Amino acid sequence: MSSDHVQSAERPTDDGAAPPGDAEAPFLDLLARGATADAYEQPVLRARAEGRPAERVAALEHAKLLALRVRAELEGRRRREAELSALFETAHDLAGLRDVDAVLQAIVQRARSLLGTDVAYLSLNDPARGDTYMRVTEGSVAARFQQLRLGMGEGLGGLVAQTARPYVTDDYFRDERFRHTTTIDAGVRDEGLVAILGVPLMLGPHVIGVLFAADRRARVFEREQIALLGSFAALAAAAIDTANLLTETRSALADLEHANEIIKDRSGVIERASDVHDRLAELVLRGGGVHDVAAAVSEVLDGTVEFAEADAAPADALEASRAEGHAVPHRDGWIAAVTAGGELLGALVLRGHPGLDPVDQRTLERAAMVTSLLLLARRSAAEAEQRVRGELLDDLLDARDRDPRLLRERAARLRADLDATHVVLAARLDTAAPDADQEADARRRLWSAASHLAATRQGLAAARDGGTVLLLPLAPGDTATDLARRTARHLGTAVHEPVTVGASAPVAHPAADPDAVVAGYEEGRRCLDALRLLGRAGDGAAAEDFGFLGLLLAGDRDIGGFVERTVGQVVAYDARRGTDLVRTLDAYFACGMSPARTKDALHVHVNTVAQRLERVGRLLGDDWQSPARALEIQLALRLHRLAGPAQS
C-alpha cells in the first residue's frame, strides 16, 4: 500500500475524529496482499511518528492484533488444506496401489514437505530378527544411517516400536529417555540429526514400523505436527497391509492357477488309477494271480512291473518300503513291499520308470496290497491242501486198516497216485533254536516247505516226531539216494538252514500195503539218525548208501539186495562164463589176501590167480581191496554162500 493511500486512509474528518472503520483499513489491505507479519507494525509506527492522538494509535493497535489473528487463522487453514490435500493424494495413491515402495516413498516425501523437516524416513519391524530396519528415507545423505537396524528399545525408533507410542525429542543426544547405542548414535551423528519425531505404524494392536521426521537443528514439534505425521503413518500402515493382502491374493491366484494346471495334468493319471482299480478288482474276482496283477500294472504305468520273492528283492529298499508303508525309489525304478500283518511276502518291482507321479506311486502301492491279498488267499488254500495231504499220510502211518480204495480216492483228489512206487523220507532240521518259540517256528517253516514240495511232486507230507515225513513218488531211473539228496538240498534252501533227510527203500503200492509205509518211515528215521551220527548233517541218504551197515538200518533186512549190490557182478560173470571168480575170492581172503598162498589152496598157477583177481577188479572197481570194501565183499561172499549150496 502506498504512503498516499495510507495517509488518506488515516486523514481525520473535519471535526478531528477518524471515520468509522478507518483504523482497520490498512490491515485489510495487508491481509489481502498476504503481507508478512512484520508489515503489520508499519501503520502503528507511522501513526506514532506523525503524532496521532493516543486514541488513534490504540485503535490501530487493536486493529493490528485482530488482523494478525485473522492472518494466523488463514495461515492455519491454508496449512490444514495443504495437509488434507496431501493426505487425500496419498490416499488416492493407496487406492491405486501398484508398487508399495513407491507409495511409501511418496508418504515420506509429503511428510517431510508438510512438516518442513530436513529428513523423513520409515522403518519396518523384522519379527524373525526381533528388531526394526530402515525401509525408506527422504533427504538422507549418510549411507550408514540408511542401513541402520534398531533393536527393540534401542534409540528413539526402537522405543516407539516397543511401546507403540509417539516420541519426540528436540535434542537427540541430550535425551536420556531412550537407550543410546554406539551404532545408532554413529548413524544419527553421520546424518547430523538433532530434533526427531517418531510415530508408530499400527495394524490393529500390532506395531509394524515407525515413521520419522527429523531436523538437523533444535526444534520443538507441535501437537498438530505430531498428529499429521500420525495420519501419514496410518496411511503407510494401510499401504503395507494392502500390499500384503495383494501379495497374498496374487499368491492365492497363482496357487489356484497352479492347482488348476495340476488338476488338468493329473486328470489322465486319475483316469489311469481308476482303470487299474477296475482291472485289479476284476483280477481278484476271477481268481487271478500275482503275475496277472504285475502285468496289469505294467500296462497302466507304462513300465515293467514284476513280483519278486522277499529273498530276491534288494534288501535295503525292501526294508525301507516295509518300514515307511510306501513305495520307494530304487535305481531306475521303484519297489513296493508286499506285506501282511507285518510279514514280508515279497515285492512289486517297477523298472524303467525313475520319475513316478504320486498318483501312480499310490497305484503301485495299491497293487502291492492286492498282491498280498492274493498271496494270503493262495496260502490259505495251500495250507488247507497241506492239512489234507498231512491227514492222508497220517492215516497211512497210523490207521493201516483203512480201505485201500478210499485211500486211493482221497489221494486222487490231491493228484497223488498211491499205486506208483514211492519213497518214504524222514526230514529234520539240524540247528538248535535258542528258545521254544523259535524252534516251533522253524518246524512250521520246515513243514510248510515240505508240504509245498509234496504238492509240486504229487506226494504227501506231514509233521511228525519233531520233523517232517514225506511220501514222494520215485521216477523211473531214479534212486532213493538221489531223491533223498535232492530233498535235503531243496528243503535246506527253502528254510535257510541245514536239513537232513533219510530215505527208505522203494515202496510199491503204498495204498495196498500201509505196513510197508510204516516200515519205510522207520527205516528213513534210522538212516537220518545214522547221517547225523556220522557227521553228515544237511545231507540225504538211503540204507543202501551205508554198505553192510545198511543191513542194520533196513527195515526188512534186504540181504539179497546187499549181496547183489556188493558182489552181484562177480556172481553173474561166473554164471555166464563158467569161471570160478567167487571161489577164488573166498580163497584169496581166507589166505590173508596172499596170491602165493591162494594158488596153493586152489592148486593153480600164481598167474592164474593174478588174472582172476584182475578180472574181479574190473568188475568191482579199483578200490575193491580197500579195508572198507574188502570187509563188505567178505560179508557179501559169506551171505552168498549161506544163501544156498548151489551158489557157493
2 confidence band (pLDDT: 50, 70, 90): very low
> What average pLDDT does this structure show over 450-473?
87
Strand ranges (E), 444-484: 460-464, 467-473
Most confident of 29-33, 182-186, 294-298, 331-335: 182-186
Q: Cell 515413521 maps to which residue?
A: 211
Spatial distance between the Cα atoms of 462 and 390, rounded to a whole number of angstroms: 4
Residue predicted with more confidence, 31 or 130: 130
Cβ–Cβ under 8 Å, residues 411 and 392:
yes
Closest CA to 370 of 272, 276, 271: 276
Q: Cell 545231507 maps to which residue?
A: 539
- Please count the other Cβ atoms lying within 10 Å of the Cβ belonging to residue 617: 13
Q: Residue 193: what pLDDT?
A: 94
Biggest distance spanned by C-alpha atoms of the chain = 204
Averaged pLDDT of the chain: 79
Q: Is 496 left (phi over 0), alpha (psi -120 to 50) or beta?
A: left
Q: Residue 9: what pLDDT?
A: 40
68-82, 105-119, 217-231, 577-591: least confident range = 68-82
- pLDDT tens profile 389-440: 667 778 777 766 677 788 777 877 878 888 889 999 999 987 776 777 777 8
DSSP 8-state secondary structure symbol assigned to residue 461: E
CA–chain centroid gap for 395, Å, is 52
74 confidence band (pLDDT: 50, 70, 90): low
Closest CA to 86 of 113, 123, 49: 113
Q: Residue 363: what pLDDT?
A: 81
* Angle of CA points 173, 179, 183, to nearest 5°: 75
Cβ–Cβ under 8 Å, residues 195 and 221:
yes
161-170, 396-405, 498-507: least confident range = 396-405
Cβ–Cβ under 8 Å, residues 498 and 430:
yes
647 in helix, strand or coil? helix
Q: Are strands 206-215 and 343-351 parallel, antiparallel or unpaired?
A: unpaired
Residue predicted with more confidence, 94 or 307: 307
Q: Residue 537: what pLDDT?
A: 83
646 confidence band (pLDDT: 50, 70, 90): very low
Closest CA to 338 of 310, 372, 388, 367: 372
89-103, 181-195, 294-308: least confident range = 89-103
Spatial distance between the Cα atoms of 520 and 422, rounded to a whole number of angstroms: 10
- pLDDT at residue 6 is higher than 50: no
- pLDDT at residue 596 is higher than 50: yes
Q: Grid coordinates standing for 545? A: 548208501
Closest CA to 589 of 552, 627, 556: 627
139 confidence band (pLDDT: 50, 70, 90): very high
- pLDDT at residue 272 is higher than 70: no
SS (H, E, C) 353-402: CCCCCHHHHHHHHHHHHHHHHHHHHHHHHHHHHHHHHHHHHHHHHHCCCC
* φ and ψ of 355, to 5 deg: -100, 105
Cβ–Cβ under 8 Å, residues 526 and 465:
no
Q: Residue 91: what pLDDT?
A: 61
Q: What single letter denotes the amino acid at residue 168?
A: V
348 in helix, strand or coil? strand
Most confident of 40-49, 197-206, 328-337, 390-399: 197-206
23 confidence band (pLDDT: 50, 70, 90): confident
97 confidence band (pLDDT: 50, 70, 90): low
Stated length of the chain: 648
Spatial distance between the Cα atoms of 593 and 629, rounded to a whole number of angstroms: 13
Cβ–Cβ under 8 Å, residues 376 and 290:
no
Q: Residue 449: what pLDDT?
A: 86
Q: Is 366 left (phi over 0), alpha (psi -120 to 50) or beta?
A: alpha
Per cent of the chain over pLDDT 70 is 80
Q: Which helix (H) or strand (E) holds 134?
A: strand 131-138
Q: Residue 16: what pLDDT?
A: 41
Strand ranges (E), 246-327: 304-308
Strand partners, 501: 427, 540
Per cent of the chain over pLDDT 90 is 11
Most confident of 208-212, 449-453, 519-523: 208-212
Q: Residue 191: what pLDDT?
A: 93
pTM over 0.75: no
Q: Cell 544156498 maps to which residue?
A: 644
Strand partners, 120: 138, 213
558 confidence band (pLDDT: 50, 70, 90): low
> What average pLDDT does this structure show over 274-278?
66
Spatial distance between the Cα atoms of 48 and 57, rounded to a whole number of angstroms: 7
Spatial distance between the Cα atoms of 184 and 144, rounded to a whole number of angstroms: 9
Spatial distance between the Cα atoms of 329 and 323, rounded to a whole number of angstroms: 14
- pLDDT tens profile 237-253: 877 787 777 777 777 88
140 confidence band (pLDDT: 50, 70, 90): very high
170 confidence band (pLDDT: 50, 70, 90): very high
Contacts 24+ apart (CB under 8 A), 587-594: 588/613, 589/630, 589/633, 589/634, 589/637, 593/625, 593/630
90 confidence band (pLDDT: 50, 70, 90): low
> What average pLDDT does this structure show over 264-280?
64
Closest CA to 94 of 82, 106, 103: 103
Q: Which domains does the chain have, with CATH numbers?
A: 97-249 (3.30.450.40), 287-381 (3.30.450.40), 402-553 (3.30.70), 559-643 (1.10.10.2840)
Most confident of 183-197, 263-277, 336-350: 183-197
624 confidence band (pLDDT: 50, 70, 90): confident
Residue predicted with more confidence, 489 or 565: 489
- pLDDT at residue 351 is higher than 70: yes
- Please count the other Cβ atoms lying within 10 Å of the Cβ belonging to residue 23: 25
Q: Residue 185: what pLDDT?
A: 92
Q: What single letter denotes the amino acid at residue 116?
A: G
